[in-house]
Amino acid sequence: MSRATVALAGVTKRYDGHAAPVLALRGVDLTIEAGEYLSIEGPSGCGKTTLLNLLGLLDVPTDGEVRWDGRPIAAATERERARLRLQGIGFIFQRFYLLPTLTAAENVELPLRAVGRPKVERRTRALELLEAMGIRARADALPHQLSGGEEQRVAIARALANEPRLLLADEPTGELDRASSEVVLDRLEVAHRRAGTTLVLVTHNPQVAARAHRHLLLEDGRIVSDRRDG
């Protein structure tokens, strides 16, 4: 495989514990080069979120191989995988996973705290990101005081805090109206262009998918289409 942000070779993911095993992914081969902007589309249950979790080192395949910068992840310890996630990968989940006892700004600061950034630097970065998301005025609000759309913007700001090399987003505009979606997508694309962040979006929205430069279509755990613009 060529050097890439992340690559999968012959990856299958099976979930046991059901009446019958569930094959979420079936022999997937995928290489994502550094700096790509990729959308993943397909019907519910086709394996999109499973694929995202494997790309983000949150899960391991049943069969096949995942590589990060050419290194087989199977050879890494869980601690090493955690370090790679913290330092190199940003996640935007469908569920926002904000800590309920922390303010919006404090939630954004969490990845920066984990890598030992100074308090003043953390606060400045958090406020910059909340400003970019259009919710600077909500910096001191707790999650239960925020709307669903505001919570989603906080989660996106948190994902950008450490300037990740790889940003994985599962329906990042799902709770937002069209105008707010444009703001969020613009902000993600700024990170993609300026920092060379590899951006991978799972979406059901064709307008969101159309902004990407490469488009994967999944069906029944398989990649059935891999198209690049231009």
Q: At what angle do helices 178-195 and 148-160 cross, to 10 degrees?
A: 0
Question: What 8-state DSSP symbol labels residue 46?
Answer: S
Structure tokens belonging to residue 3: 């050097």
Which residues on neighbouring strands pair with residue 23, listed in sequence order? Answer: 14
How confident is the model at residue 1, as a pLDDT?
44
Residues in Cβ contact with 53 at an 8 Å cutoff, skipping those fewer than 6 apart: 59
What confidence score (pLDDT) does residue 31 get? 95
Residue owning tokens 């505009």: 173
Query: Phi/psi at 130 (nearest 5 deg)?
Result: -65, -35
Give the pLDDT of residue 4: 63
pLDDT per residue, tens digit, the chain (230 aa), is: 445 689 999 999 999 876 778 899 999 999 999 999 999 999 988 999 999 999 999 989 999 999 998 889 888 888 888 888 888 899 988 788 899 999 999 999 999 998 899 999 999 999 999 998 889 999 999 999 999 889 988 998 999 998 899 999 998 887 778 888 888 888 888 888 888 899 999 998 888 999 999 999 999 999 999 999 86
What is the set of domains in the chain, with CATH numbers?
Answer: 6-103+164-228 (3.40.50.300)
Q: What is the pLDDT of residue 2?
A: 47
DSSP, collapsed to helix, strand or coil, labels residue 22 as strand
For 24, other C-beta atoms within 10 Å of its C-beta total 23
